[in-house]
Amino acid sequence: MASGIVVGASVAGLLTARVLSDHLDDVVVLERERLTDSPRPRGHVPQGRHLHLLLIAGLNRLTEWFPGIDDELERLGAVRIDGSRAWVYQAGGYRAQGDWGPSALSLTRPLLEQVLRRRIALLDNVTLEDGVLASGLDLTDGRVTGVVVDGVSRPADLVVDCSGRSSRIAHQLEESGVLVPPVSRVSIDCAYTSGFLPRSRDDFEGTFVVCGTSPPTSFRAGAVMPVEGERWMVTLAGVHGDPPGTSEDEVLAFARSLLSPAVAQLLERAGPLSDVAAYRFPFSQRRHYEKVERLVPGLLTLGDAACSFNPIYGQGMSCAALQAAALDTTVREVGAHSPDLPRLFHRRAATIIDAPWSIAVGADFLHPDTVGPKAKGTDAVNRYVLRVVRGTHTSVRLAKSFNLVLNLVEPTASLLRPSVVGRVVAASVPGPHRAAPVGHPRVAPPGE
């Protein structure tokens, strides 16, 4: 009877459990926190109180594993968003509105986790145990054979660490010298402030607002997204010692400093924020298991425990879903007991991680204070991506190409296709073919 243990009931952990349920007779998820059947943020997941998106790639995987989950989330208040009435300001202008591809899903992370836990509970061969701390691993003859909980060994044929960037398991293995992967850390010191506003249909002429960074003019960002409970979720972000603050005056002043006025105007209309939360993200971190010559049989690492990057692009959950899909493929090929499983999986996972890492971490180097290992060609890539972004101001087709990359549907290399490069060049040439600049969205004044 083949068994598996997943450490951590994060989104990554729950998706991993779903995948393993197709291959193992028994799967146990161990979660250190006490869980309730409610959409409440978990104490050890501070980022759960801030803006999250279920991008197209992640949503596609979830609907494969949990048929109808998209409709269920919508019934609970999640909102589909697309490019038809979107206001995304970046690099001096708004992205052209129109067909950007399939819809993403805007919701709070606690709601998604609640629904995933409910779906996992319906699987006969998966058990979720909460209030359980996995303190270490059992190793026999160089192979992981289980997890230690309260001094007692819990045997398993396969253990998957989904316990986050501060993983106890990873630290234990590194300190003992058993598994010491190269680690990349890129400092960004990103500070977030988030909260909620009541939402009504006539607040403004659009479905959501994102004001991204516009280097070198502004490195501040903000977003207003629709979430369940007829609310707007507002997130503000600054980097390298530029926190948005948490008081009403600080939040409003920061929002007014953004290059798009819409975020501040929505705050003025419906504010102040409720349930204000702050979060500090000091650095992106990646453990390069794909570069380790001899991995430990019986052990895999997935999600933030392997890689956590600047969350400003909202790609973390979808990246974890794609890693879980890679796990599914690899186990089908070689089996859960194979000593080759860790090597083959982590190589596949690395190619998945490369895309969001290059997008998020590569862009962090636009700020002069960012420190860390910088991939060769990063500056050239950033210069080209900036031209792409400017091209999206007037080209809907270019906006779609860029959006599919950001949603992890298309590889970043797709932006170098001749058709895309041609649109980038054409968009930069002045002429009557270019659309007139779009003004800022109109936000209804307070009381209107």
| Residue partners of 29: CB distance under 8 A and separation at least 6 | 5, 6, 8, 9, 13, 14, 17, 120, 126, 127, 128, 129
In the structure, what pLDDT confidence band is assigned to residue 437 with cuts at 50, 70 and 90?
low
DSSP run (H or E) holding 245: none
Identify the top-confidence range among 40-44, 361-365, 416-420: 416-420
DSSP run (H or E) holding 269: helix 262-270
Q: Over the stretch 294-346, which tens digit does the pLDDT of each residue have?
A: 999 999 999 999 999 888 788 999 999 999 999 999 999 999 999 999 999 99
Of 248 and 135, which is predicted with more confidence?
248
Of 352 and 433, which is predicted with more confidence?
352
Query: Phi/psi class of residue 98: alpha, beta or left (left: φ > 0; alpha: ψ in -120 to 50)?
Result: left
Q: Over the stretch 196-251, which tens digit does the pLDDT of each residue have?
A: 999 998 899 999 999 999 888 899 999 999 999 999 999 999 999 999 999 999 99
In the structure, what pLDDT confidence band is assigned to residue 438 with cuts at 50, 70 and 90?
low
Cα 176 to Cα 140: distance, rounded to the nearest angstrom: 15
pLDDT of amino acid 431: 60
Given a contact cutoff of 8 angstroms between Cβ atoms, the answer to whether 138 and 153 are in contact is: yes
Given a contact cutoff of 8 angstroms between Cβ atoms, the answer to whether 146 and 155 are in contact is: yes
Of 117-126, 227-236, 353-362, the poorest mean pLDDT is in 353-362
pLDDT of amino acid 278: 95
pLDDT of amino acid 49: 84
Average pLDDT over residues 141-166: 93
In the structure, what pLDDT confidence band is assigned to residue 69 with cuts at 50, 70 and 90?
very high
Average pLDDT over residues 8-28: 97
**String of b and e for 75-112 (b: at least 16 CB within 10 Å)?**
eebbbbbbbeebbbbbbebbbbbeebbbbbbbbbbbbb
pLDDT of amino acid 343: 97
Query: Phi/psi class of residue 314: alpha, beta or left (left: φ > 0; alpha: ψ in -120 to 50)?
Result: left
State the average pLDDT for the chain: 93
For residue 273, pLDDT over 70 is answered with yes
Domains of the chain: 3-47+109-185+284-362 (3.50.50.60), 378-427 (no CATH)
pLDDT of amino acid 201: 87
Average pLDDT over residues 173-183: 94
Average pLDDT over residues 103-111: 96
Question: 0.75 cut: is pTM over it?
Answer: yes
For residue 409, pLDDT over 90 is answered with yes
In the structure, what pLDDT confidence band is assigned to residue 151 with cuts at 50, 70 and 90?
confident
pLDDT of amino acid 432: 52
In the structure, what pLDDT confidence band is assigned to residue 434 with cuts at 50, 70 and 90?
low
* Type of residue numbered 400: K
In the chain, the percentage of residues whose pLDDT exceeds 70 is: 98
